[in-house]
Amino acid sequence: QDRAARWHRVLLGRSGQEDRFHQPFSAWTVQLNEPNQRVIRADCERTRADMEYFRRPDVRDKMEAMLTYWCQQQRSRYKQGLNEVIAPFLFLQADEAGGTPPSDDQVFACFSAFLRRYVPFFDSQDFVPLQCAFVFFRRLLLYHRPDLHNLLADRGVSPDMFCMPWFLTIFASKTPLKL
């Protein structure tokens, strides 16, 4: 079974139904009018710029449209890092593995379900869940590596200074897309 089908099954269930919490991406009337649309566009242009697939204008346009649509559906402002989270789902359409590439609706449904399930702080306007993650991370560091925790604390380095990109992108920005 190909990667796209596995993601679909894990995130949306065995029934194969699209995400019941959102309208399909194909049903959206494109309106690229978010208050921070320039930030979305700039992030799309920067996303995985070392890979030819993500330099393609059609892929960048699709990424911008999907991110904008997600923000409009959630009634939430775009937050930097979302571009890195959607990139692996869009890359499933590259069809380099020889499987059946997912449709735009399937990519968007998987992206939305992934955020809802694994990254709840993107829905938060004030990032309270993310701040809680930093507190937990600090406690884990203190428990498992007290020497490192104390060294960082003595030097005034808090977890939000170095693990923000990890948590915001769920490590997607540093993970290779080709396995």
Question: The whole model's pTM is what?
Answer: 0.79
Write down the pLDDT at residue 151.
94
Q: What is the mean pLDDT of the chain?
A: 84
pLDDT digits (tens, 9 = 90+) for 14-62: 655 555 556 788 888 878 988 999 999 999 999 999 999 999 999 999 9
Measured distance CA(81)–CA(78) in Å, rounded:
9
Q: Where are the beta strands (DSSP E) in the chain?
A: none
Measured distance CA(9)–CA(110) in Å, rounded:
9
In contact, 60 and 45? CB cutoff 8 Å: yes
